[in-house]
Amino acid sequence: MKNLLYLTLGMFLLVSCENEKNKEYSKFDFDGIDLSIKPGDNFFNHVNKNWSDQAVIADDQAGVGSYSFLNIPQKALLEDILEEVSSGTHEKGSADQMVGDFYSSGMNTTRINERGFEPIQPLLDEVNSITTISGLMQFVADEFKSGNGSLVSMGVSPDNENSSVNMLHFGQTGLGLPDRDYYFKTDESTLEIQKAYQSYLTKLFELAGNDNAEKNTAIAYGIEKQLAEAHKTRIERRNVKANYNKLAVADLAKNQPNIGWVNLLKNLDAQADHVDVRQPAYYDKLNDMLGTVALADWKTYLKANILTNYANILSEPFETAAFEYTKVISGQAVQQSRAQVMVQRVDRQLGFALGKIYVARHFDEAAKKRVLDLVNNLQKAFETRIDQLDWMSDITKVEAKKKLYTITKKIGYPDVWREYGDVKIEKDKYFENVVALRQNNYQYNLDKLNKPPNKDAWGTTPSTVTAYYNPPLNEIVFPAGILQFPYFDLNADDAINYGGIGMVIGHELTHAFDDQGAQFDKDGNVKNWWTEEDYEKFKAKTQLVIDRYSSYTVLDGLHLKGGLTVGENTADNGGISIAYDAFKLTEQGQSNTKINGHTPDQRFFLSIARIWRVKTRDAYLRNYVKTNSHSPPMWRVNGPLMNFTPFYEAFDVQPGDKNYKPVEERIKIW
């Protein structure tokens, strides 16, 4: 009997292991392709339509699938970590104690609800006591240090013309709607959002005990709309040189006396003789309005700002009001669970302490080495493509390759982890914990002022599914969060990985040479390293990208913004080309061996379509098109593949297919 038990158990384990192995490898297959849709008509739908038809967006989400929505299963892993850490006892001030107690404080909704809006009452009282414009601007500065930006927006990062030192940068701000255009457009969806936002403000004033809620909403909204008039559009803000204006503080103080620049910097604890004012027209407008708008109205505006800034960390009625507004923009049906809300909050404010735990538990170190190999291979492929460009002179090619090989590569997690100093996190003080961490983050960034950039620092947490290129530091960053299926898997064949994370790597490398990145040299300075003729050719090619993508539509004729998405579209086109060339250097890339009926090239392109497998709510997509610098997922696949001849060859795309472009119309920059 004992022998039989062992035999049965052994067979069970053998079958289980085999099933797990089959499950592991089945994810590299491409089941569910819609054969009724020709690859040349719509490759995104050819690969993803059956999945999309069956995929269900959870009521508490705006979308489902990969890319940013891959953060949803990530959050489940982080929730498990936080539940475990928060239940233990840890040394005071340790990362585990801070992460665990912060999570616990946010989960204690009974205590949060008991307090109502009591945590912000001192701020509202302080606004009531303001008697001068200078006092108002001091309040603005004090609150900015606590993470509540209202009339000014300031950051510390490298000087565009001297990347070896950090300086202060001031940008336009002051709005509650997602973008300046939302204040002026009159289409049905925009009007609905305007109405929802004003209803939100009114509800917040009511919850705070205000008897003139609608009147106060009108005052606050009116001030925002005036400020919006001076805002640059998102497309205008892509102009690197026009959005860098290094000005003497003494001159600003003279020309904009109502802002009180000397006192403003003093109250921000920032020392500087010169600052970069990225959108000067905004601060001109602010200065004028500080002299013409009644102080009482400004105080109403500040109260509205306090309420919207802190609503999500107050009692349930405030949170609910915030969600009622948010769901109009996102289409999300119900609020997320409290645990998921707190996962995002902890990741946002203690993300490197949490990330350290996440990496230790869920990141395979072998992935770091493998991805570095891919990055190096793509750099070599990019160098070859630069050499073969027929529109760029040899002089500019030399400089382009210098920049390419100067790029810093950050993979997985930081070599030096960020610390959070002496911040005191307590289990029963959620509001205070949030504010203390915001103050810590402000000081962390301010400490960089007038110093060389910290090249060990990361701009995203390790668990986040994202990647980025940073022009002033000339670096590419691939957090642990994106180094997972469908982007990357150690067990996958090269076609899968080069079509997945390879495309993402190529995309980020190309950002160093898109319409903005191309204006920065290898050291991160805005400096012309092109010949005049080459740069004019480059701009002409990027204009082709702008025009092409502006012709694409979603949601019943809503056009993509080619001028807003040009950098990302350039990177998508370059990313696919570079990843493909690198793939062709591999053994699989040079073979014709099929896997499950697909050639290596076909698997490469199928992988590309799958990494952008996303389904979203219409409301979310509409706002995305208006405000996001990326094209929607469908056009991140179909757009660049229309321009890429190897795709035509892999799937026999022919004239007459809906997405067919003649060779002379296939745009190629990199």
CB 524 within 8 A of CB 167: no
Phi, psi of 529 (to 5 degrees): -110, 10
Average pLDDT over residues 498-505: 98
Q: How many CB atoms lie within 10 A of CB 119?
A: 19
According to the model, what pLDDT value does residue 7 have? 30
Q: Is the pLDDT of residue 12 over 80?
A: no
According to the model, what pLDDT value does residue 239 have? 97
Q: How confident is the model at residue 20 (pLDDT cuts 50, 70, 90)?
A: very low
pLDDT digits (tens, 9 = 90+) for 613-651: 999 999 999 999 999 999 999 999 999 999 999 999 999
Quick one: fold of 117-314?
A: Neutral endopeptidase; domain 2 (1.10.1380)
Mean pLDDT for the chain overall: 95
Superfamily for domain range 363-418+457-665: Collagenase (Catalytic Domain) (3.40.390.10)
Strand intervals (E) in 257-301: 274-277
CB 143 within 8 A of CB 153: no
645/634 Cα distance (integer angstroms): 19
User: Which amino acid is residue 105, in one-letter code?
Assistant: S
To the nearest 10°, report the CA torsion of 431, 434, 436, 442.
-140
Q: How many CB atoms lie within 10 A of CB 435?
A: 17
Long-range contacts of 387-390, Cβ-Cβ distance < 8 Å, separation of 24 or more: 389/670
Q: At what angle do helices 133-144 and 280-292 cross, to 10 degrees?
A: 140
Which of 521, 582, 539 is CA-nearest to residue 382? 582
pLDDT digits (tens, 9 = 90+) for 282-333: 999 999 999 999 999 999 999 999 999 999 999 999 999 999 999 999 999 9
What is the pTM (predicted TM-score) of this model? 0.93
> Where along the chain do its domains lie?
117-314, 363-418+457-665
3-class secondary-structure state, position 434: helix
Q: Is the pLDDT of residue 21 over 50?
A: no
Q: How confident is the model at residue 557 (pLDDT cuts 50, 70, 90)?
A: confident
Identify how many contiguous H helices and E strands the chain contains and give both numbers.
27, 11
Element (H, E) at 154: strand 153-159
Q: How many CB atoms lie within 10 A of CB 544?
A: 16
Element (H, E) at 163: strand 162-171
105/89 Cα distance (integer angstroms): 15
pLDDT digits (tens, 9 = 90+) for 267-280: 999 999 999 999 99
Cα–Cα distances in Å, from 214 out to 155, 221, 224, 305? 34, 10, 15, 15
According to the model, what pLDDT value does residue 27 have? 82
Structure tokens at 300: 């109403």
Q: How confident is the model at residue 556 (pLDDT cuts 50, 70, 90)?
A: confident
Question: Bridge partners of 167?
Answer: 157
CB 468 within 8 A of CB 460: yes
